Amino acid sequence: MLYQPPLPSKYSALTESELVDAITQRKAALGSRLVILGHHYQRDDVIQFADFTGDSLKLAKVGAEQQAAEFIVFCGVHFMAESADILTTDRVRVVLPDLGAGCTMADMADIDQLEDAWDWFTNECHINVIPITYVNSTASIKAFCGEHGGACCTSSNAREILKWAFSQGDKVLFLPDQHLGRNTAYAMNVALESMVIYDPHKANGGLTTSQAREASVLLWKGHCSVHELFTAAQCDEIRRDDPECKIIVHPECTWDVVQKADLTGSTEFIISVIRDAQPGTKWAIGTEVHLVNRLANTYTDRSIRLLANMQCLCTTMYRIDMRHLLWTLDELVAGHVVNQITVDAETSRLATIALERMLDHVAPPPIAIK
């Protein structure tokens, strides 16, 4: 996680209404030079200023289309801003309002660990592995996958990407989120026994060469700290207390939670299901709390609640607030680009290969995976 210096003290003194007015004025002053992207998990007071909102796949596409703007202010986390920088021209400068807005999942796989794993797969196990990385990963991990015949994916198109990967080789390394990999492969009729966990903190990932050779899917030992908070016991409690309530969860949840849910799918899938649901229906949702609360406030004729009885929020994305957004825009208006996220040319070139493969395999209209 990068360090974000404290803001000038004047920002702490501003009221919420003063912040809203000031951000609105700065947006107007920058006009078409500025595009603000906001991830669905972003806090409400910030998301109101986004020109585009979406999940990782949608925002990757939108970012790639922003060739006319001078500045993209990405209200999300660091890996998303990196992807935006990779997919746009050098003319577009990408800014992250708070450098501390990282991703704990992305931090669970670093390039040195991946290179060690690859050496073992290649030189000792003698297996042909296609590396697939969830978009929630660093630019260097994306670049490695692009260089070694792999691709990126999102929760929206993980199934399509895995289909492609199995057409390229007989084994897949899926990183850094073991749960998305397991849930997606299982929905494609890959047996649980054919999947093994590679732990980068253990010698040879904690595996024997025979285990690596026999597996169809090698799952990197990583996870989302938010979605691991949802449990099978919470699903059982919902079933017991309110049998009419449907459970819908994100595939970053653990396998046992996904098996107990009625529906499983990406953030955009969850939004589409709730949007199209009948008035009076009841829903318990297993994903980040800001999105769940936003859906509950939007569709008030449906009963919508968080699956867990605790606040499951992305604490790193929560670092981006109106004060950091205003500071960023103030600096842009003054001609200073702060917190610019840049990816070096070679990493960008190789990561583009993986990202373009991701964008070439867009999923069909959302369906549930179980």
pTM higher than the cut 0.85:
yes
Kindly report the CATH class assigned to 227-306. Answer: alpha beta
Indicate whether 301 pLDDT > 50. yes
Domain boundary assignment for the chain: 9-104+316-333, 112-224+350-360, 227-306
Neighbours of 338 (CB within 10 A): 16
pLDDT of residue 363: 55
Give me the chain's average pLDDT, please. 93
Average pLDDT over residues 55-81: 87
Tokens of 51: 């020109």
Q: What is the percent of the chain where pLDDT is above 70?
A: 97
The rounded distance, in Å, linking the Cα atoms of 58 and 268 is 9
Tens-digit pLDDT profile for residues 30-39: 999 999 999 8
Q: Is domain 9-104+316-333 given the CATH code 3.20.20.70 in the classification?
A: no
pLDDT of residue 1: 61
Indicate whether 365 pLDDT > 50. no
Q: Is domain 112-224+350-360 given the CATH code 3.40.50 in the classification?
A: yes
Indicate whether 279 pLDDT > 80. yes
What angle in degrees, to the nearest 10, is found between the helix axes of 158-168 and 178-187?
80
pLDDT of residue 64: 83
The rounded distance, in Å, linking the Cα atoms of 111 and 242 is 46
Cα 218–Cα 59–Cα 227 angle in degrees, nearest 5: 50
Cα distances (angstroms) measured from residue 332 to each of 31, 142, 196, 339: 12, 29, 48, 11
The rounded distance, in Å, linking the Cα atoms of 38 and 73 is 9
pLDDT of residue 366: 44
Same topology between domain 9-104+316-333 and domain 227-306: yes
Name the pLDDT band for 14 (thresholds 50, 70, 90). Answer: very high
Average pLDDT over residues 46-61: 87
Tens-digit pLDDT profile for residues 257-267: 999 999 999 99
Phi/psi of residue 215, nearest 5 degrees: -75, 150
